[in-house]
A and B are shown apart, each in its own frame.
Chain A
Amino acid sequence: MVNPIYILILSLVIGFLLTIIDKAGRKLSLFFLYGVLSFNVAVMFIWFYQFAFVGRASLMIHTAGFIAPISINLKLGLLEAFVLLLANLAGLMSAMFLFKKLKETHISGLILYLVLIMGVNGLVMTRDLFNMFVFIEILSISTYALISIDENKRSFSAGFKYMIAGGITSTFFLLGIIFIYYFTGNLNLDTVLGNSSMLAMKTGVFSIFLLIVSIFIELKPFPANGWALDVYQAVNSGITSVIAVVNSAAILFVFYKILPLLPDQYLMVFVGAGIVTFLFSNLIGIKQTDPKRLLGYSSIAQMGLVVAAISYTTKLNISQDLVFIMAGGIFINHFLAKAGLFWITGIIKRSEIKDWGILRNNTPLLLLFGVLLFALAGLPPFPGFWAKWEMAKIFVSNNLYVGLAAVLIGSLFEAFYLFRWFGYAIKNERKEESLKPVDFSQLFPVAVFVLITLLTSVWIMIRVYAFDLINFLPVAAVFGMYLLNFLKAKLKAVLAIIVVILYGYSIYPLETALQSLFGIIFVIGSGIMIITTMNRKGKISGFYGFLLMMILSMGNLIIAKSFLSFFLNWEFMTIAAYLLILRGKKGQVPALTFITFSLAGAYLMLAGFGFMPNVLSSNAIINTIGSIEIPLAAMILLLLGFLIKSASFGLHIWIPGAYAEAEDDVTPFFASIFSKTGIFGLLLVAISFIKHSSEFNPFYWLGWLGAISAIVGAFLATFQEDVKKLMAYSSMSQLGYIIASVSLLSHLGWISALYLTLNHFMFKAMIFVAIAGVIHRTGTRQMYKMGGLIKKMPISYITVLIGIIAVSGVPPLSGFGSKWLLYSSMLEKGWYLQAGVFFFASGVSFLYLYRMIHTIFLGQLKYEHQNVKEAPIYFLIPQVIFIMGIMAISMFPNLIIKPLNSIVGNYFASTIMIDGYNVTSSLGHWNGNMVMMVTMGVFIVPLVFLILFNGRTQKVKQFNIVFAAERPESPQTTHFAHNMFSHYYKALGGLTKPRIQNFWNSVSEWSNAIAGLFRQIYTGNGQTYLLHILLYIVVLYIFLGV
């Protein structure tokens, strides 16, 4: 084994000699620089391997032939090796990134860089307090100097501020050391730790405080961190990434080393300070438009979170594994992602996130950017996700609710600004200028870090959580499809269908019929819907991968065996959905709204799952949830999370944008399939609730919420001109029905819930597919621009017709069954007023349905649509399949009622009687088959009659109407379409005001205003920053309450 002290020796010797070596040419110097840096990595890799996989005990290296505490000693254990491996790797990669710069700059730059990395190694390994000070200074001074690598005024002024701050904090550090020496007579950390009783009095704690707080300030706590932000913004990206990750990692490790000095009861101050930093930095982050400053805020926030995690785990003394996942997870996540992103900012060199559309010119770089951004946002499968999961559990189990809330809100802010950035990169208008070809030396480091991020993620999934391979499928699908990117879209679609079929086959048979029901919707339904996408031409990169990701993760929800697996796939699904929405032409803003709301929901769920016991079972969670009692708080949190997905009233504002702006053949997935995941979630909670009913019944209120969603959704749909928005609000309304019927918690209620679910799945799918075909042909979503298309697209018309009959609940189609079940169950339960609201809502649904079908298909055909053809066959196939499905369950309701009866029979005693086709509830009866027969009878009799009496009618042309004694010629003025229900709008008066939209707008404005207010503290003046630091120390000491 190589003694790690050789890292110091080699670095120093080469550092000292570089001036002379450089005389022989820069190439040689660079060779030595990279050589030493690679040596560092290699040494640390070997040691890391030894500690982690061979199980070697940690290594103590003393110096000068004396054993500590007489001499200074170094320690290399698993943690040290881990941190140093990363740090050295980042050092090497950053040096590679800086290759061009280092080739040209003064030789001192290389020396400084080399010694900086050496300082990091020393700092992490040393166990002597004063030696830490020395290494911190080595680190700081080399950093100060390297800041000037780009010679501009901004970096000089930032550097000066940095020096002032750094100088003062190290003074305090020094004072802390000497005070501790005064009390203990020793400087060796381990000895001091052993004698900590000597520091138990007030002045002793004060000394420790001085020591820790100065390190803490080096970690940039809010608000004593203005200097760091300026540095992040101004300095060359390669150096910034070193400062942000390598230096921070070393300092953080020092913090971790010395933290145990502080008695446990004081640790909460640092937990609090860390969380405050996380929250506020992310809050201010939402105001940032400069990517580097934005990343700076994010860095600071992440460090705050790591500090909080470290302090808290130190306080609690929990198991090492958890510490590793929680603090280590956040750390490594931040480390890899932040370094990578800083490098990318150095490649792109655009100081406004709005200009980042240029990134699209380079697909590999865009991909790398995406992975890193998603990792930073704490999404699965990246390490930050697992860390937050564990954090939620630990915070909850220790009743640290405020902390958890702050962390989650902060995470949401962070995700918001990161995804806004991502949106600009993906969607913002591309300027004419093209991206210069990216040097391999600059791309390589990013790629390496992305690879490590992915490997770490996989490692955590396999080794720590022991996930089945099936949980990897969603991600594997993305990569698989990326590799097959060269294929034509049709081929990829076929492939996707095959994958879905194989997947379905592999999870079949499911344990229960309830699972099978959702399996039909999520998997089979998706498989059918993929046919629609075969109409696409070209390669369509980045589509099928995400589509498969969404489908497979939805499928995994059904078979998830633990909450974690459920949540993991839930997040996968959200990511995929986000990316699919973002693909839409104007998808930027809707996608951002969607992801913000979805992540808010996810964080609520995360908090909720924090309250849940761990489940170890070989059965799917949906089947075992009945035996688990969900605490009330968790239930409410989870319900809120699921309600966001099912676009319940108040949480619905993402839905019109997301549905409307997603590509037309993707919207059916969202509306008919994706929306059901929220319902699945509600059922999950409800099943537990019915087995352990508590005093307070959240489902009663959920019932009302469903009712309000139904009516408000219907109102909103009525006043839309955009057909997709109309159907989006219609979905909100229909999901309101389902939410309410789930909330009934009764036999009939759940039958109606599942019936509605299945019905909504089919009719929403066919209507949206039909509409996609219409939009495909006409090129517009504004309904009033269409009209008279019945003659051109008869099959689509029939689909929509059957669809709207099924939506509206008019007999004899399946919709009536759902309405009958719904009202019967509501009245049975005693929810009379709610039933009244639903009656109203179902009346209003006629308005928008008629508006849609009339405005598009009836009335006057526009001249520009004279040559429109029927939708392509790929649109028609799914339509026909779903028509057959609707007709089947309409003719033979037993096909569905009987299975549903038996599914729900597992949870409630049956309250209906099924006799032949006659379904009898305690209130009424319904014979679907007979209704169908009678209806066909009464329809056919007049038809035959009419044909007999009036068989030969005269076909007339389009304008053969008498209209105020004239023959109109302009379809636009003759087509009564635009603003069709203006009178209704007037009549409703105050009910139509967009109050919820206004509410969320003001939430957004207030957050921005508050962020704007807080960032005023960063005046840009170095003295103010120093004042912040001093005040911060004083205030923190007051909070310490010694």
Chain B
Amino acid sequence: MINRIFILLALLGLILMFLPFLKDFDFHDQLGDLSSQYVEGSINDLNSQNVVTSVVVTYRGLDTLGEVTVLFLATAGIGFLLRTKKRSKKSRKSSELLQTASQFLLVLIILTGIYIFLHGHLTPGGGFQGGVLIATAFLLLILADANVEFNHKVLHLVESFSGTFYVLIGFLGLLLLGMNSFLDPTIIPLGSFGKLLSAGAIPVIYSLVGLKVGSELTTILDKMGGE
């Protein structure tokens, strides 16, 4: 009871703390300096249609690397946590409809995923979105058959090398363009605005991110599905 009162007090306190902010809040009328620079820069310096992608992959590239790392850590962490548990064989069978459809949809979904991350600099979407989509394809497989076995070697290879190449591309920037150019996409020619082969290394990075996210999420699903 007293606990309940404290909970309500705490939440009430939080509400009162946030209230002034909510009351005074209004949307900005225009972009701030930094955002404007990003929009301009994305067009002029990076040749990338999708400003968000420019921000994600280039301007805040370190964040994205970190983000990939976080996901990687989650994979490793889950692997670490669930390291001893033997995979329990489940005999649950899914409906035939699901089983058949999953085989059929698998390729389609994966292709869509690949499309999304390849066009991350042009259209909404990107590596993460694409990667998640790829993972859902494998989720479908797991749903269809709980005992499905993935080729871990391939998964690991994709995961490891996509990550490694991502870092190495960043490193190439350092190597070629100087100490302030880690993750600089301009190591690859920028191409022409609006084309697939534009925005320098952004599509390459995003593809690697997509692969990495896809393989990692698949591993996570696999691990947790096994439990």
Contact = CB atoms under 8 A, between A and B. Distances in A.
Interface of A: 3, 5, 8-9, 12-13, 15-17, 19-20, 61-67, 69-72, 105-106, 108-109, 111-112, 115, 118-119, 122, 126, 128, 130-131, 134-135, 137-138, 141-142, 144-146, 148, 151, 179, 182, 184-187, 202-203, 206-207, 1024, 1027, 1030-1031, 1033-1035, 1037-1038
B70 interface: yes
Contacts of B164: 13, 16-17
A720 to B, nearest CB: 53
Contacts of B63: 72, 128, 130-131, 134
Interface in B1-24: 3, 6-7, 9-11, 13-14, 17, 20-21, 24
A134 B62 CA distance: 9
B80 interface: yes
Contact of A19 (B17, B160, B186): B160
A68 to B, nearest CB: 9
Given A67-B180, A131-B63, A141 B185 contact: no
B85 to A, nearest CB: 10
Q: Which 7 A-B pairs have the closest CB atoms?
A: A185-B32, A145-B77, A1034-B13, A16-B163, A134-B66, A65-B184, A108-B80
Interface string B153-174: 0001101110110011011011
A65 B181 contact: yes
Contacts of A62: 180
Interface residue tally on B, bucketed by range: 35 or more
B87 interface: no
Nearest to A69: B34
Among B37, B170, B177, chain A packs the most CB atoms within 10 A around the CB of: B170
Interface of B: 3, 6-7, 9-11, 13-14, 17, 20-21, 24-25, 28, 32-35, 37-38, 41, 58-63, 65-67, 69-70, 72-74, 76-81, 83-84, 156-157, 159-161, 163-164, 167-168, 170-171, 173-174, 177, 179-186
A141 B160 contact: no
A115 B73 contact: yes
Given A12-B167, A63-B183, A206 B59 contact: no
A179 B184 contact: no
A541 to B, nearest CB: 45
A72 B174 contact: no
Contact of B20 (A134, A203, A1030): A203
B32 A186 contact: yes
A394 to B, nearest CB: 32
Contacts of A119: 69
A137 B32 CA distance: 27
A142 B77 contact: yes
A1027 B3 contact: yes
B70 A202 contact: no
Nearest to A21: B160
18 contacts: A12-B65, A15-B69, A20-B156, A70-B41, A70-B59, A72-B62, A111-B73, A130-B63, A131-B63, A131-B66, A141-B70, A144-B77, A145-B77, A182-B25, A182-B28, A203-B20, A1030-B10, A1034-B17
Contacts of A1033: 13-14, 17
Among A12, A130, A138, chain B packs the most CB atoms within 10 A around the CB of: A12
A134 B64 CA distance: 9
B53 to A, nearest CB: 13
Given A112-B80, A115-B69, A185-B34, A61 B179 contact: yes
Contacts of B160: 16-17, 19-20
Nearest to A179: B21
Given A16-B164, A64-B182, A203-B21, A131 B62 contact: yes
Given A5-B182, A64-B61, A206-B21, A112 B163 contact: no
Nearest to B71: A141
SS of A interface (majority): helix
SS of B interface (majority): helix
B156 to A, nearest CB: 5
Contact of B66 (A65, A138, A145): A138
A177 to B, nearest CB: 11
B163 to A, nearest CB: 4
B173 A151 contact: no
A9 B182 CA distance: 9
A39 B83 CA distance: 29
B152 to A, nearest CB: 9
A595 B200 CA distance: 69
A1037 B16 CA distance: 11
Contacts of A142: 73, 77
B76 A145 contact: yes
A70 B186 contact: no
Contact of B34 (A9, A186, A206): A186
Among B25, B33, B80, B186, chain A packs the most CB atoms within 10 A around the CB of: B80
B155 to A, nearest CB: 10
Given A63-B62, A118-B69, A131-B62, 19 more contacts: A20-B156, A64-B185, A108-B79, A115-B72, A122-B62, A122-B66, A131-B60, A134-B62, A134-B67, A138-B66, A141-B70, A142-B77, A144-B77, A185-B33, A207-B21, A1027-B10, A1030-B10, A1031-B10, A1033-B13
A87 B165 CA distance: 28
Given A12-B65, A61-B180, A106 B17 contact: no
Contacts of B3: 1024, 1027
